[in-house]
Amino acid sequence: MAKVTELLKNRFFSGKKVNRTVSYLLVIFGYVLMIILMKAGMLTSHFTSLLVPLTSYIVIAIALNLTVGFSGELSLGHAGFMGVGAFSAVIISGLLLPYVPNTTLRLIIAMLGAALVSSLFGAIIGIPVLKLEGDYLAIVTLAFNQIIKTIINSIYLGYDNNGIQISFVKNKLNLGEGAVTILKGPIGANGIKRISTFTAGFILILITLLVVYNLIYSRKGRDIMACRDNRIAAESVGINVTNIKLEAFVISAALAGCAGALYGLNYSTLTPAKFDYNLSIMILVYVVLGGLGNIAGTIISTVILYILPEQLRFLQDYRMIIYAVVLIGIMLLTNNSWFKVQYYKISKRIRKKMREKKGAAA
């Protein structure tokens, strides 16, 4: 028994890998808690409706943290990959509807397809973009985001008994019998079959954690961080900077695509306009507040910042302005040295008291 605890301690609770344990525990605990509450009928409908989008935002926030936190590239375009994933999944799911009646299977296929397409986009965009640095990289990712949105905006796609039809820019679909329109340009998709579930979202988060942690704690991960910290030094020790950065970027894009697939298949309507730079910025806020390179922190901050404006609904007209004030307030407080010192003092005092109590009890 002692051996097992020793092993557990070494394996999971040692040093920097604490973050990994915290992340997994947080996600599993959250899932179990939600399921129990749901089964017991204690969860409000409002809260239940937030679960699937929440899981998808957690996945994309982790994916973005891989790019911004670990690779050190400020991307303002991740919503673009999410959009690519969402619309690929909607198209795949729509086309497979008559052939794959099983929703779980269809969701899995759609998600894999979405990951494939968005990683392709990630590679196409990554190759030129990763040559740039800093704010130039930021603006180019933002530009790509807008371009992706515009491209999705101009696709018209549908099928009838004779096969699939697709047209660009102008709606030239001429569908005959058995017509189903899947994509309708800027109007997006209507009548999507909703097949995403909270459990699927939970599993996707676990897979994301697995992928990201395995990457960053591997040799490749150390290479990635070396490139982030000093590109020239990394190059001089023989790391292929472009390749390694591209790999991380593509993985991040693929995960963002999966998040998009989960998101897209959770609603019966979807518009391309949803995936503009504003969404990218919103996710960036989650990541920065949670801490660059801190995945457990990302999960926590995503939950807080996503739930907060929803729980502020009672404020009505003042909702978004209060949210803005809270956002500024949190940024100022968490970076305020006086506050940091006070916080440290208080937590130290509490810890001391706890230790004293423990001592007294023993």
Question: Is there binding between residue 246 and other proteins (CB under 8 A)?
Answer: no
Q: Detail the DSSP E strand segments found in the chain.
A: 155-160, 163-168, 180-184
Comparison of 73 and 211: residue with beta carbon closer to other proteins: 73
3-state secondary structure of 345: helix
Of residues 189 through 208, those in contact with other proteins by CB under 8 A are 190-191, 194
Which residue in 66, 60, 58, 55 sits closest to 78, CA to CA?
60
Q: How far apart are CA 16 and CA 236, in angstroms?
A: 27
Q: How far apart are CA 141 and CA 249, in angstroms?
A: 12
Which residue in 214, 303, 261 sits closest to 31, CA to CA?
303
Span interacting with other proteins, options 99-107, 179-187, 207-215, 246-254, rule CB under 8 A = 179-187
Comparison of 240 and 336: residue with beta carbon closer to other proteins: 336
Question: Is there binding between residue 321 and other proteins (CB under 8 A)?
Answer: yes
Give the up-direction half-sphere exposure of residue 234: CA atoms within 13 A in the CB hemisphere.
20
Comparison of 165 and 185: residue with beta carbon closer to other proteins: 185
Of residues 106 through 145, those in contact with other proteins by CB under 8 A are 128, 131-133, 135-136, 138-140, 142-144
Tokens matching residue 261: 């697939």
Of residues 147 through 176, those in contact with other proteins by CB under 8 A are 147, 149-151, 153-154, 169, 171
Span interacting with other proteins, options 83-91, 246-254, 321-329, 352-360, rule CB under 8 A = 321-329
Span interacting with other proteins, options 8-16, 206-214, 228-236, 240-248, rule CB under 8 A = 228-236
As to burial, measured by CB atoms within 10 angstroms (0-12 exposed, 13-18 middle, 19+ buried), residue 173 is: middle
Of residues 78 through 107, those in contact with other proteins by CB under 8 A are none
Span interacting with other proteins, options 110-118, 212-220, 327-335, 354-362, rule CB under 8 A = 327-335
Residue with tokens 């909270």: 198
Tell me the pairing of strands 163-168 and 180-184: unpaired
Comparison of 75 and 211: residue with beta carbon closer to other proteins: 75
Paired strand residues for 189: 270
Backbone φ and ψ for 94, nearest 5 degrees, come out as -65, -40
Comparison of 211 and 296: residue with beta carbon closer to other proteins: 296
The C-alpha torsion from 139 through 145 and 146 to 151, rounded to 10°, is 150
Of residues 252 through 281, those in contact with other proteins by CB under 8 A are 267-271, 273-274, 277, 281
Distance of closest approach, residue 75 Cβ to other proteins, in angstroms: 12
Cβ atoms of residues 275 and 78 within 8 Å: no
Of residues 15 through 74, those in contact with other proteins by CB under 8 A are 37, 41-50, 53, 68, 74
Q: Which one among 104, 146, 162, 243 touches other proteins, defined by CB under 8 A?
A: 146
Comparison of 39 and 313: residue with beta carbon closer to other proteins: 313
Comparison of 153 and 199: residue with beta carbon closer to other proteins: 153
Distance of closest approach, residue 54 Cβ to other proteins, in angstroms: 10
Element (H, E) at 107: helix 103-129
Question: Is there binding between residue 285 and other proteins (CB under 8 A)?
Answer: yes
Neighbours of 58 (CB within 10 A): 28
